[in-house]
Amino acid sequence: EELPPDVLELLPPLDADGRIAGSDALDTTLRTHRDALRLEDPTLTSLRRDCAVVFALDGSNWLQADQAPRCLMEALALAVFDR
């Protein structure tokens, strides 16, 4: 679906890879940190369930900046964002 011209002019220009042009200094490589989160079994089970539900729906979830988290996954994302 094509966006209206007035919306398109608000968006930043993209480079050939679909990233914001001029953002070459950003490190966009994937990193993982084993044991970065030390969760007790019930919490880990809840987080895995939340992730499975979101992935099964459409693979994405959105939390507005002024919205309260609706699940553990959103609470974790908000904690990372606030930090």
Residue 78 and residue 65: Cα distance in Å, rounded? 8
Longest alpha-carbon distance in the chain? 50
Q: What local confidence, expressed as pLDDT, does residue 1 receive?
A: 67
Q: What local confidence, expressed as pLDDT, does residue 66 receive?
A: 82
Q: What is the pLDDT along the chain (83 residues), one digit of tens a residue?
A: 687 888 888 888 888 888 788 877 777 787 777 777 777 888 888 888 888 888 787 766 777 878 898 888 888 888 877 77
Q: What local confidence, expressed as pLDDT, does residue 59 receive?
A: 67
Q: What local confidence, expressed as pLDDT, does residue 82 receive?
A: 77
The CA-to-CA distance between both ends of the chain, in Å, stands at 35
